[in-house]
């Protein structure tokens, strides 16, 4: 073989004009450069400080140094990629780099669960090494005609789900099981919205305050007309059930868009309604986050349909839920952008790049404006929930982002904390791990909300399925499950996976969620006289009277302008009220204090409550 032929075989081409690497190739160079950069910087940290349990080691890492080294190495790999041999071994180098970084991290902070998550990352790297990235474009199958039978079954299941949630949450109201945080706050807020159209409470920060100075949630106004017709706290719980049940509509449409049969769509909707992280999220009543699931699923549907108008409408609705909802919209925009860059046929995807750009710009701009407003006029953003990543006393989310970039191992380490394993099991096992099963690696971007909102934080309520923090990530996980399921080519295998996920979701629902929900109607019917007496007695307190009360009576007493929770109130605040309502157990000091100041006993029910009235002036 001549030297010229050997050179031609080593090089891709002799014509530089034909050498036009794809974005996927460039992205691969950046990933390899980044892995090398974080490994080198981690090695530069003294072994004594290389511990992931705290944030001290992050002080020894250089964010600018990691970025600079990545930017220096990536062009080098770009040049080397002209060699065929480098192109072939680059995926292997990425896998080896991940192994080395994993070994360094495990050597300093080994736990069995940390090892397990790195093993999963390593398996993904090996799959990439041997099978490569799946760059194929999915040919969307023409949706089958909607069969009325499966539509009727799905509607019936949605109505059952709605009834289940309504019964659960309404009986929480009737059994005085709804605490001040958060339902008592919202019950009073809606009363004031009905009176003055303003979201005012005296419970949230123990002064007269707009809820929008704590969380920016104008989405609540969509509920106000119904509350005005039926002005009772139980109405809000019933509306919560309706909002959640409506998620079935966009989910059905997304499954239809991906060519799944009507029967499969029905099974997906059934599975989702029993999915623990979704159906259990109402365990602590109404919260603005309930709107995340339907709004995000509608947004996914809109971007799949490449509808600019509907994408903007549902993005705006999502942003109106809460200030941190901007994260969800931005992630969808970034996913669309990366997806656009990684695939061909860009001329046919003009709308996709427009939508992705609008979502990214719109969400970031909104987030900056709202957080600036909250910082100046409200309570600011609750960054303390990420103190396990904030290493420089800045109390800034930018610091959290920098920490993750400097040390993805730290992020993984925090995500598999022992306390979070149950949450991971209840969110991934019922879906049979479908959100993870893909070779279209850009889809992993859609796991960011799950990691950021639920697993990276040390705020325990965010990784508890019975609280409201899973509604956003649940929308992302079910969307990933649908599109990854649609990629399975063999119908029999698809059926096995889908039926397995349905059975596991049903098992978790009936073993964990259903018993928790049914304890409230059971408690009511076993103690109906007691709860009816509480409701009747509390309803006799004048609406214009100011009241200080214990946490579980704030909902019943919410229809008034001035209402305090005694646990968070000073003695002066309590003594300024016309009435004081307390549970008759656990409040002995408060009872002694108000009796000593002339308050007289007006009503009581042994084992339930006491009502005191202020002395006449």
d(Cα 406, Cα 197) in Å, to the nearest integer? Answer: 46
> 551-586, pLDDT tens digit by residue?
999 999 999 999 999 999 999 999 999 999 999 788
pLDDT 10s digits, 398-427: 899 999 999 999 999 999 999 999 999 999
Does some domain include residue 53?
A: yes
**One domain for residues 60 and 202:** no
Same-domain pairing of 67 and 91: yes
Residue finishing a domain among 486, 521, 556: 521
Instruction: Give the pLDDT confidence score for residue 131 in this predicted structure.
Output: 81
Domain match, 329 and 242 both: yes
Condensed to tens digits (0 to 9), the pLDDT of residues 81-119 reads 877 788 889 999 999 999 999 999 999 999 999 999 999
162 domain residue, yes or no: yes
- 486 shares its domain with 455: yes
Q: How far apart are CA 328 and CA 295, in angstroms?
A: 11
Question: Residue length, the chain?
Answer: 617
Domain with 541, as residue range(s), is 530-613
Residues 563 and 511 in one domain: no
Mark which of 521, 540, 564 sits at the end of a domain: 521
At 394 the pLDDT is 80
User: What local confidence, expressed as pLDDT, does residue 14 receive?
Assistant: 43
If asked whether residues 155 and 261 sit together in one domain, one would say: yes
Q: Do 343 and 483 fall into the same domain?
A: yes
Average pLDDT over residues 277-291: 95
437 in Cβ contact with 500 (< 8 Å): no
Please check whether residues 369 and 502 belong to one and the same domain.
yes
Instruction: Check whether residue 321 and residue 437 sit in a common domain.
Output: yes
> Is residue 35, in this structure, part of any structural domain at all?
yes
* Residue ending a domain, choose from 82, 101, 131: 131
- pTM listed for this prediction: 0.94
Q: What is the pLDDT of residue 182?
A: 86
Q: Decide if 163 is inside a domain.
A: yes
pLDDT of residue 147: 76
The count of other CB atoms within 10 Å of the CB of residue 578 is 17
Q: Is residue 172 part of a domain?
A: yes
Please indicate, yes or no, whether residues 81 and 125 belong to a single structural domain of this protein.
yes
Number of structural domains found in the chain:
3
Please indicate, yes or no, if residue 411 is contained in any of the structural domains. Answer: no
- Do 86 and 43 share a structural domain? yes
Query: Does residue 17 lie within any of the structural domains?
Result: yes
Q: What does 98-160 look like in DSSP terms, one character per residue? A: HHHHHHHHHHHS--HHHHHHHHHHHHHHHHHHHH----PPP-PPPPPPPPHHHHHHHHHHHHH
| Integer CA distances (angstroms), 520 to 129, 169, 219, 584, in order | 53, 8, 28, 21
Shared domain for 516 and 534, answered yes or no, is no
Confidence of residue 302 (pLDDT cuts 50, 70, 90): very high
For residue 297, being part of any structural domain is answered with: yes
């Amino acid at each position: 073989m001549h030297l010229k032929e050997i050179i031609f075989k080593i090089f891709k081409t002799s014509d530089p004009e034909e050498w036009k690497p794809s974005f996927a190739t460039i992205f691969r160079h950046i990933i390899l450069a980044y892995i090398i950069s974080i490994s080198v910087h981690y090695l530069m940290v003294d072994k004594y400080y290389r511990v992931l349990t705290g944030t001290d080691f992050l002080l020894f890492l250089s964010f600018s140094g990691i970025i600079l080294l990545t930017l220096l190495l990536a062009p080098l790999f770009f040049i080397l990629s002209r060699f065929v041999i480098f192109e072939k071994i680059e995926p292997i180098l990425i896998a080896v780099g991940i192994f080395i970084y994993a070994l360094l991290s495990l050597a300093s902070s080994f736990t069995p669960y940390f090892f397990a998550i790195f093993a999963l990352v390593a398996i993904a790297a090996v799959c990439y090494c041997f099978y490569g990235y799946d760059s194929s474009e999915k040919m969307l199958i023409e949706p089958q005609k909607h069969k009325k039978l499966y539509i009727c079954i799905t509607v019936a299941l949605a109505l059952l789900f709605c009834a289940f949630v309504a019964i659960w949450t309404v009986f929480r109201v009737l059994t005085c099981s709804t605490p001040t945080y958060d339902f008592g706050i919202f019950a009073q807020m809606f009363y004031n919205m009905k009176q003055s159209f303003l979201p005012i409470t005296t419970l949230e920060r123990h002064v007269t305050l707009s809820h929008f100075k704590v969380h920016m949630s104008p989405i609540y106004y969509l509920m106000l007309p119904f509350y005005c017709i039926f002005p009772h706290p139980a109405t809000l719980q019933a509306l919560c059930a309706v909002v959640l049940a409506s998620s079935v509509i966009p989910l059905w449409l997304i499954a239809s868009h991906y060519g799944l049969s009507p029967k499969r769509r029905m099974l997906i909707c059934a599975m989702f309604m029993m999915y623990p992280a979704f159906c259990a999220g109402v365990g602590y009543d109404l919260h603005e986050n309930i709107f995340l699931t339907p709004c995000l699923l509608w947004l996914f549907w809109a971007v799949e349909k490449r509808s600019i108008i509907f994408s903007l409408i549902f993005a705006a609705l999502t942003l109106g839920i809460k200030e941190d909802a901007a994260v969800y919209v931005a992630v969808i925009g970034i996913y669309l952008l990366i997806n656009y860059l990684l695939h061909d046929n860009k001329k046919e995807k003009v709308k996709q790049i427009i939508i992705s750009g609008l979502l990214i710009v719109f969400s970031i701009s909104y987030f900056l404006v709202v957080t600036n407003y909250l910082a100046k006029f409200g309570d600011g953003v609750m960054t303390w929930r990420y103190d396990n990543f904030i290493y420089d006393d800045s109390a800034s989310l930018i610091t959290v982002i920098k920490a993750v970039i400097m040390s993805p191992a730290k992020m993984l380490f925090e995500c598999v904390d022992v306390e979070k394993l149950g949450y991971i099991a209840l969110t991934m096992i019922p879906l049979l791990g479908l959100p993870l099963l893909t070779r279209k690696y850009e889809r992993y971007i859609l796991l960011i909300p799950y990691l950021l909102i639920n697993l990276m934080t040390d705020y325990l309520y965010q990784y508890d399925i019975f609280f409201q923090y899973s509604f956003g990530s649940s929308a992302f996980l079910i969307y990933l499950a649908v599109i990854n399921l649609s990629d399975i080519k063999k119908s029999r295998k698809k059926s096995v996976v889908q039926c397995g996920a349905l059975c596991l979701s049903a098992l978790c629902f009936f073993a964990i969620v259903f018993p928790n929900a049914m304890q409230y109607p059971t408690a009511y019917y076993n103690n109906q006289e007691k709860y009816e007496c509480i409701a009747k007695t509390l309803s006799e307190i004048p609406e214009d009277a100011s009241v200080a009360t214990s946490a579980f009576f704030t909902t019943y007493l919410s229809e008034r302008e001035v209402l305090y929770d005694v646990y968070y109130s000073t003695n002066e605040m309590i003594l300024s009220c016309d009435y004081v309502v307390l549970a008759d157990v656990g409040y002995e000091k408060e009872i002694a204090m108000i009796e000593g100041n002339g308050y007289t006993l007006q009503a009581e029910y042994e084992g339930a409550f006491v009502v005191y009235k202020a002395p006449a002036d």
